[in-house]
């Protein structure tokens, strides 16, 4: 963990769309990205599933990548999701991310046909060879339909030198320790399953990849501070308060829930792009209640975390 390329709270911004034209709203993207940095996020990761990367045209993808990285301006590390259905498309995106100054790239096996291990190796090797950037392998069987077991992940990493990180989102907490042990500590592991945030850190995860800082940055940062400070009681208390919110945003879909939350907070980023639909009214009211409760709760304040953001 000491040599992890990225650490701490790695924040995932949404991609805003204009409410009239439906086009990418780069000015709002810049504002929201800047808010993630000034709130204290330890890294920013544009163009993940929260950023609706799969629904962007290539010119839009390039513009979002450039705008987000220019806004961060090397104040914190950046992790760009470069996944595409094809190896060619993923390689192209990796090179664009590198050209605009990304710290690292993240690759999900975004496929229709289930890939063999040989195909996975060829895909990751080609993407990794396209730049000198560190590569994060992203395992999310719920969205990709491909479950990369720890043994497979470690075997891939042994053949691809700059594959140094793994974002594990299967929901199986045992995998954090398994990947670290099987790789003899060579792979840094990151949690992508929001409800497992605390268990993952306690199992040796170097960071938490999460969209929660878009709405409640101080809570995510306080959880990490409690873990790093060895304050187990406080970490448990923070997670207990935060868990219903984390389960809600995952259960109802990150793009629609985060955008609904931003609208509630007066920081609108438009609606998700079709086929996604906005969060229904009933669920929006539930989310509003959660955000109001977290904002009013005395457990977290800026003095405790050393942060100052636009929301709780």
The reply to whether 7 belongs to the active site is: no
Q: Is the dihedral of CA 231, 237, 238, 244 positive or negative?
A: positive
How many CB atoms neighbour CB 233 within 10 A?
A: 8
CA distance 43 to 6: 7
**Are residues 193 and 170 in contact, defined by beta-carbon separation less than 8 angstroms?**
yes
- Out of 12, 167, 190, 224, which one is annotated catalytic? 167
Query: Closest Cα partner for 80 from 114, 148, 71, 277?
Result: 71
Q: 17: which DSSP letter? A: B
Q: Which long-range contacts (CB under 8 A, 24 or more apart) does 199-204 make?
A: 199/173, 200/168, 200/173, 200/176, 201/227, 201/235, 202/227, 203/173, 203/174, 203/176, 203/177, 204/1, 204/176, 204/177, 204/180
CA distance 39 to 234: 21
Strands (E) located in 71-134: 79-81, 104-107
Residue 183 in tokens: 């790789």
The torsion angles phi and psi of 273, rounded to 5 degrees, stand at: -90, 140
- Out of 7, 12, 124, 138, which one is annotated catalytic? 138
The reply to whether 224 belongs to the active site is: no
Catalytic residues: 138, 167
């Amino acid at each position: 963990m000491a040599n992890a390329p990225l650490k701490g709270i790695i924040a995932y911004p949404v991609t805003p769309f204009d409410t009239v034209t439906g086009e990418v709203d780069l000015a709002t993207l810049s504002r929201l990205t800047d808010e993630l940095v000034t709130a204290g996020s330890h890294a920013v990761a544009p163009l993940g599933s929260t950023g609706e990367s799969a629904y962007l045209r290539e010119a839009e993808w390039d513009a979002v990548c450039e705008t987000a990285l220019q806004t961060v301006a090397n104040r914190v590390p950046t992790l760009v999701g470069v996944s595409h259905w094809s190896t060619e498309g993923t390689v192209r995106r990796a090179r664009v991310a590198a050209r605009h100054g990304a710290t690292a790239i993240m690759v999900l096996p975004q496929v229709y046909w289930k890939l063999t291990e040989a195909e996975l190796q060829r895909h990751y090797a080609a993407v990794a060879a396209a730049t000198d950037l560190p590569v994060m392998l992203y395992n999310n069987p719920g969205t990709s339909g491909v479950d990369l077991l720890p043994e497979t992940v470690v075997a891939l990493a042994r053949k691809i030198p700059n594959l140094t990180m793994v974002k594990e989102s299967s929901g199986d907490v045992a995998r954090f320790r398994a990947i670290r042990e099987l790789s003899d500590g060579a792979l840094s592991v990151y949690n992508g399953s929001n409800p497992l945030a605390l268990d993952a850190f306690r199992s040796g995860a170097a960071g938490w990849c999460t969209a929660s800082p878009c709405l409640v940055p101080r809570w995510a940062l306080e959880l990490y501070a409690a873990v790093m400070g060895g304050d187990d009681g406080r970490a448990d208390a923070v997670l207990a308060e935060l868990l219903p919110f984390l389960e809600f945003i995952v259960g109802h879909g990150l793009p629609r829930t985060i955008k609904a939350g931003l609208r509630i907070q007066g920081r609108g980023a438009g609606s998700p792009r079709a086929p996604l639909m906005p969060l229904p009214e009933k669920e929006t009211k539930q989310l509003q209640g959660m955000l109001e409760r977290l904002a009013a709760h005395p457990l977290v304040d800026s003095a405790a975390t050393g942060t100052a953001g636009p929301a709780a």
